[in-house]
Amino acid sequence: METEKRNTPITTGWFNGLLGVMIFSGSLPATRVAVLEMDPFFLTFLRASIAGLLAVTLLQSFRQPRPNAGHIIPLLTVSFGVIIGFPLLTALALRYITAAHSIVFIGLLPLATAIFGVLRGGERPRAAFWIFSLFGSLLVAGFALSQSASLSFTGDMLMLAAVAVCGLGYAEGATLTRELGSWQAISWSLTLSLPFMLVATFIYWPTTFAAYTLPTWLALGYVSLFSMLIGFILWYKGLAAGGIAAVGQLQLLQPFFGLALSAGLIHETVNPQMFWVTLGVILCVVCSRRFAR
């Protein structure tokens, strides 16, 4: 019975983490749709402003206590990583590369998250964890690279930078979740960055919205509500309960969800070998979880 009670939070953490990954899988395809018509800077600042206003409403409605002074730097780190850094860098990258090609770099995100989990979260996975994590990342990277015929150095460098800051934001947010709560951590980060985001949105406000079609507005709604808020609530809760390094490996599945959405939403070609590679990735996730603690 004690074992069952001890495993329940971990199982719940993996379930919440998986839901978060599924939501995040739509972020790059949706961003790709949006930047075809919308300026990347305006998209980044507007989505964060919308999510920030929702976050303020949540915090006020549930009368949440303010974070203490020791939380400010971690909250700013989350803001830098996942509210400003990753959305802006990926939006800029998707001006040069396709959504399918950008997903190659998401395969490196679990490794980046695990590294920052060690540096910032104090976790100490066993050596076998790193072997399976690295192999899974290489498997995803090799597969996704085979999906794209054209490469862009600028787009690739922007995606590498995006993965680095996102891994930092994920690890820092998971650490904060243990003290503030999952939805509180991302909500306070959004709230803290909201004044800057509102000013930046006003600066980049377009002269007309006539060029924006319905798909652009729907994509904006998705990245604002789901990618920027709901997904993080589930993801941070999952990382905090199941472990940053362990649950972070679920991100290995994100490229395949993303490729499927890219094919369905913007009709990008996906190799049928995806199924077999996915099985290999799942095996890496299972094995890495076993040696994560």
Residue 7 has pLDDT above 60, yes or no: no
Evaluate whether residue 80 is within a structural domain: yes
Dihedral angle of Cα 203, 207, 211, 215, to the nearest 10 degrees? 30
Evaluate whether residue 4 is within a structural domain: no
* Lookup: tokens for 146: 């085979």
* Lookup: tokens for 15: 């379930």
Evaluate whether residue 293 is within a structural domain: no
Residue 86 has pLDDT above 90, yes or no: yes
pLDDT in tens, 187-205: 999 999 999 999 999 999 9
pLDDT in tens, 35-56: 999 999 999 999 999 999 999 9
pTM: 0.86
Evaluate whether residue 2 is within a structural domain: no
pLDDT computed for residue 269 by the predictor:
67
Confidence class of residue 226 from pLDDT cuts 50, 70 and 90? very high
Give residue for tokens 């290995």.
Answer: 252
Evaluate whether residue 165 is within a structural domain: yes
Evaluate whether residue 120 is within a structural domain: yes
Radius of gyration of the chain (CA): 18
pLDDT in tens, 283-292: 887 787 677 6
Tell me how far apart the alpha carbons of residues 97 and 282 are, in angstroms, rounded to a whole number. 27
Tell me how far apart the alpha carbons of residues 78 and 170 are, in angstroms, rounded to a whole number. 7
Confidence class of residue 34 from pLDDT cuts 50, 70 and 90? very high
Tell me how far apart the alpha carbons of residues 194 and 160 are, in angstroms, rounded to a whole number. 26
Residue 174 has pLDDT above 90, yes or no: no
Sequence-ordered list of residues with C-beta below 8 angstroms from that of 218, at least 6 positions apart, any chain? 30, 33
Residue 75 has pLDDT above 70, yes or no: yes
pLDDT computed for residue 202 by the predictor:
97
Evaluate whether residue 207 is within a structural domain: no
- Angle value at C-alpha 212, between 206 and 215, nearest 5 degrees: 140
Q: How many domains does the chain have?
A: 1
State the maximum Cα–Cα separation within the chain, in Å, rounded to a whole number: 63
Confidence class of residue 2 from pLDDT cuts 50, 70 and 90? very low
Evaluate whether residue 110 is within a structural domain: yes
Domain hosting 64: range is 9-202+212-288
Confidence class of residue 3 from pLDDT cuts 50, 70 and 90? very low
Mean pLDDT of the chain: 86
